[in-house]
Amino acid sequence: MRTLLILATELVAVSHLSFSIVLFIYARRSVAFKAQAWILMLIALIFGASLALSVIYSVPADLGILNPYMLIFLLVTSFLLSINPLGMVMPGYLQVGRMVRYASPAIVVVSLYVLGLLAGSEVVRVGELSDLPEVFLSSDIILRICALLLSFGYIVNIIFVPHLRLRRKSLPKNIVTYAMLLGIVQLMFVVCTIRFSLPLLIVYEILFASVSVMLCGCIIKPLMQAQPYPEIRKVDVPPTNEEISVLEEEDFNEANLFRFERVEYVMQHEKPYVSPDFNRDRLCRLSGFNRHLLLQTVRSQGYNDVHDYISRYRVKELRSLIAAGVITDLRQHDRVGFRTLKTAALAFERYEHTTLAAFLAAAVGEQAVALRPEAGEAWSADDEGNEGGGPARTADREYSK
């Protein structure tokens, strides 16, 4: 059990240290990541110190009720975690003066307890709940109860502070979910502190690391989505088999590029992707490559897989037809090979970073402006009401369905 505790503590310390380093790098471009970077770094240092103590000293299977060291650990981590969700959406709020005032009750309680220990105050051990009434009025126990109540207050803030501070704004779903999960996990630590349980402490550390991984995934996801996809380059003449064969022996990367140009030529000149039945196997037959080589080829140019590559062409064609006024209704998505509107909308938003309905509405609106009569010609009431808005609103309704 001691080995499992060491491994779980190491998992929390290493994961938070790694995440904090990544966020410190991002913080060089945006201050929004600085708060999370410092909070994760402090948590990594706290669990790193705990890891060192766990290795040097053997953790007893029973630390009793309201262990003072567990309470201090709980209080510090609860304070740090309570400002974490707020820092994700209000980075400018986490200023030193404001945070010191927020932490002042915890600072007072911990300071009084430490000063008492330095003055020679005896630490009261409470083994069972039945022993608590006998020592309930001692200063030691009173300070422990204050630390427990403060920790519980910080945990309540983990869940509710983002809602209170931003009640007039819509919160990202990932922030709300993260705050809820983090509060629930931290409540497990409260239970473990009130009545120590080594298995529960190990489960808490594993879940805590998992929630932090979720947080970093939510932070990094928008950055990943902003990464540009490979540009589609026009190919007029496909490379020959002889050219590819020669390059396979001389330059592996160059050979992949030549194979990719062969695939690009097929996609650009034959446009097989406009058929809903077009798939990887048909692309293999048209290009003359087997599945392994085709996957290797598209991945060498930055695509995840063949489906990703085909979807890129379908989105490009869809965008072109909308801009040209050929497609004016979302229900025409099958003209570029998409089987369902949902698939088309998701793919379009992934590659173009805007919704399909919004792009169609803007394109239809521009076309309506371009078709407007010259100044001096009268518009009817019906024309004025439908100017640029009718088809666009229809598109939005179709997309919402």
Domain segments of the chain: what residues? 2-225, 233-303, 313-401
d(CA 319, CA 355): 11
Contact 124, 133 (CB under 8 A): no
pLDDT of residue 282: 92
Tokens of 207: 């879940």
pTM: 0.61
Q: What is the pLDDT at residue 264? A: 92
Kindly calculate the radius of gyration of the chain based on its CA atoms and give it in whole angstroms: 30
| HEC readout, 183-224 | HHHHHHHHHHHHECCHHHHHHHHHHHHHHHHHHHHHHHHHHH
What is the predicted pLDDT for the residue at 241? Answer: 79
Q: Where are the alpha helices (DSSP H) in 28-138?
A: 34-56, 68-82, 84-89, 96-118, 132-135
Provide the residue type at 135 as one letter: V
What is the structure's pLDDT at 394? 41
What's the CA gap between 151 and 132, in Å, rounded?
20
Q: From residue 7, how far is each of 20, 25, 73 by CA, in Å?
A: 20, 27, 18
Rounded-to-integer distance, Cα 150 and Cα 351, Å: 47
H helix and E strand count, the chain: 18, 0
∠ Cα 256 279 323 (to 5°): 90
Which residues, given as ranges, of the chain have pLDDT below 70?
59-64, 88-93, 123, 126-133, 135-137, 161-173, 222-228, 366-401
Q: Give Cα separations from 54 to 34, 46, 48, 198, 210 (angstroms).
A: 30, 12, 10, 12, 21
State the pLDDT at residue 265.
Answer: 92
What does the chain come to in residues? 401
The β-bridge partners of 211 are none
